Amino acid sequence: MRVIAIVGLAALVLSGCAALEPKAAPAPAIRINEDPYPSTYVRYPGALTVIRHATVFTGDGQQINNGTVIFANGVLQAVGGPDLASPAGATEIDGTGKFVSPGIIDIHSHLGVYPSPGVEANSDGNELTDPIHADVWAEHSVWPQDPGFSRALVNGGVTSMQILPGSGDLMGGRSVVLKNVPGRTVQEMKFPGAPYGLKMACGENPKRVYGSHDHMPQTRMGNMALDRETWIKAVRYKRDWDDYYAHGGKMPDRDLTMDTLKGVLEGKILIQNHCYRADEMAQMIDMSKEFGYHITAFHHAVEAYKIADLLRENDICAVMWADWYGFKMEAYDAIPQNIALVHNAGACAMVHSDDPNGIQRLNQAAAKAMAEGQRAGIPNLSEAVAWEWLSRNPAKALGILDKTGTLTPGKMADVVLWNGDPFSDYSRPERVWIDGAEMYDANDPHKRPVSDFELGQPGEGDAK
């Protein structure tokens, strides 16, 4: 009996082995590379630089009169008053009568994807072949030779920007954050460590593009339905991959659109949502809660002032023009106090351009918004506070505030020296540094980028 038992056990073991053998242990999961087009940006060399006697906007609401800014090795070293000592060997710049600010960050640009010249062959910003195109990536369209980058640098003091796909699709694709340093490839411009964004769009554009072809969506409710159906798939896709990464086994089929949405659901990819009307923003907020993601910013939020409380409560930034209005029905209720009202409600406000000309004057857009707010009686709107709309808040909404956006020691030395008060029409950037490297000097014609496209053309190297 004992023998039998042993034999029985052996049989059991054997049969167990026989049963398990075809299954084997699950294959360990293979991690998908989430950064297959990595940044190859390397900062250019810069001098140990001290700017003295300038009016300094730190970018986080502070103004330092007779201020000193010190940077070296690409990094801000110290920011303070006249008593800051210069390190040995520093290049000293007299900023008397001049202003220093963080580099401006434009969170909404189509440079490179809708470049100059604006001809059909260069038009790469809107896929428009299906309303759900979270699979396309703006960086795969960016033409680094767009002359617009240089204008944004030299006239606008713009040191970083987010390049977005257009708004014809409900999900237009991934954005990319760039340093405004000329590159041969877009990889050479990619802001190291900046998260991706997903461009979503509410309202008129998607329903016009597809409705005009009798294709869903042709209504706002169609916009919502298609978005929701997509998020349902994305939640299932993420569950499949979570399961795969936890237990291994057969790799789920990959889908580029779903990859992006999974990144959103994981909080790795930020939602940058084109949305004009207050009521539609509220719908998008509910949709984000339905599926468990967070909206980082509403772009072109011309009615943000109507729901500034809702934006504050949900920690969503509003990205706004100073005074564009009436160019479409959903912009009919735009008011020039929008930015100031949103700011005053305690929500995160910022200016943006969406335009290769406007990007050259974002400081003046902030000046308008500040002045309109002041005239409307909104309190505590100083120039130093308004500067938050130009660099700090865009950096926050791009997930790079730990790296740039304010003049804080330890951050990237993205710095503009203005030849006067940047809230005046009469002032322009005089020198611009990106990661401490001087990329523009108004007094040095060699310190002015010229794109390949402009070589050998009339006006090459001209003051633009």
The first and second tokens of residue 292, run together, are 């468990």
Q: Which lies closer to another protein via its Cβ, residue 214 or residue 426?
A: 426
Q: Least distance (Å) from another protein to the CB of residue 40?
A: 27
Question: 67-73, long-range: CB within 8 Å, 24+ apart, which pairs?
Answer: 67/95, 67/100, 69/100, 69/407, 69/415, 71/46, 71/413, 71/415, 71/433, 71/436, 72/46, 72/47, 72/48, 72/413, 72/436, 73/46, 73/48, 73/436
Q: Least distance (Å) from another protein to the CB of residue 368?
A: 5
Q: Which lies closer to another protein via its Cβ, residue 200 or residue 307?
A: 307
The first and second tokens of residue 7, run together, are 């034999």
84 CB burial (10 A radius; 0-12, 13-18, 19+): middle
Tell me the Ramachandran region of residue 193: left when phi exceeds 0, alpha when psi lies from -120 to 50, beta otherwise: left
Q: What are the two backbone dihedrals, phi and then psi, of residue 10, each rounded to the nearest 5 degrees? A: -60, -40
Question: H helices of 212-270, where?
Answer: 220-247, 256-265
Q: Which lies closer to another protein via its Cβ, residue 237 or residue 298?
A: 298
Q: If you ran DSSP here, which 8-state letter would residue 139 be given?
A: G
Q: What is the spatial distance between Cα 12 and Cα 133, in angstroms, rounded to a whole number?
A: 55
Q: Which lies closer to another protein via its Cβ, residue 365 or residue 412?
A: 365
Q: Which residue carries 């004009």 as its tokens?
A: 276
Q: What string of DSSP letters covers 21-85?
A: TTT-SPPPPPPPPS-SS-----PPP---EEEEEEEEE-SSS-EEEEEEEEEETTEEEEEE-TTPP
Q: Least distance (Å) from another protein to the CB of residue 137?
A: 25
Q: Least distance (Å) from another protein to the CB of residue 420?
A: 8
Q: Which lies closer to another protein via its Cβ, residue 187 or residue 424?
A: 424
Q: Which lies closer to another protein via its Cβ, residue 270 or residue 304?
A: 304
Q: Least distance (Å) from another protein to the CB of residue 455?
A: 12
Q: Which residue carries 């010249």 as its tokens?
A: 117
Q: Which lies closer to another protein via its Cβ, residue 222 or residue 356?
A: 356
Q: Least distance (Å) from another protein to the CB of residue 345?
A: 7
Q: Which lies closer to another protein via its Cβ, residue 131 or residue 373?
A: 373
Q: Least distance (Å) from another protein to the CB of residue 453?
A: 7
Q: If you ran DSSP here, which 8-state letter would residue 27 be given?
A: P
The first and second tokens of residue 98, run together, are 């001049």
Q: Which lies closer to another protein via its Cβ, residue 70 or residue 308?
A: 308
Q: Least distance (Å) from another protein to the CB of residue 428?
A: 5
Q: Least distance (Å) from another protein to the CB of residue 464?
A: 4
The first and second tokens of residue 340, run together, are 């100031």
Q: Is the preceding omega at residue 217 within 30 degrees of 0, hence cis?
A: yes
Q: Which lies closer to another protein via its Cβ, residue 51 or residue 370?
A: 370
Q: For residues 81 and 68, is the Cβ–Cβ distance under 8 A?
A: yes
Q: Mapping DSSP to helix (H, G, I), strand (E, B) and coil, where does residue 391 land? A: coil
Q: Least distance (Å) from another protein to the CB of residue 358?
A: 10
Which residue, among 125, 140, 63, has the nearest Cα to 384 in the 3D structure?
63
| Site residues, another protein (CB under 8 A) | 116-119, 147-148, 151, 155, 204, 208, 305-309, 323-329, 332-337, 341, 345, 356-357, 360-361, 364, 367-368, 370-372, 375-376, 419-420, 423-428, 442-443, 445, 453-454, 457-459, 462-464
